[in-house]
Amino acid sequence: MESMEDRLKKIVRSVFNLGPSGSLDGLVYKDHPRWDSLGHIQLILSLEKEFRVKFSSEDVVSVRTLEDIASLLRKKGGQAS
């Protein structure tokens, strides 16, 4: 079974069109041309669908990195596929 981190990376690659081997190191909101405000919401909505969780507007503004998202997903217990 795929880990939560792997699923998260798969979604990020798909939303930002990075390709299966694209590096995700140091990916930070607004530092990557694809991760702008529209990409951010696209990512949030895709994550909600994949992990069946609901992000509040506070969550939306607080996450900046993949680590932030992973820790938020762990907090919300979003593991379902």
In the complex, what is the shortest distance from the CB of residue 3 to another protein, in angstroms, rounded to a whole number? 26
Backbone angles phi, psi at 38, to 5 degrees: -70, -45
C-beta closer to another protein: residue 27 or 43: 43
Count CB atoms within 10 A of the CB of residue 8: 21
- Copy the structure tokens of residue 38: 């529209």
Task: Give dist(CA 21, CA 7) in Å, integer.
Answer: 14
Span 18-77, contacts to another protein by CB under 8 A? 36-38, 41-42, 44-45, 48, 54-62
C-beta closer to another protein: residue 18 or 24: 18
Positions in the binding site for another protein (CB under 8 A): 17, 36-38, 41-42, 44-45, 48, 54-62
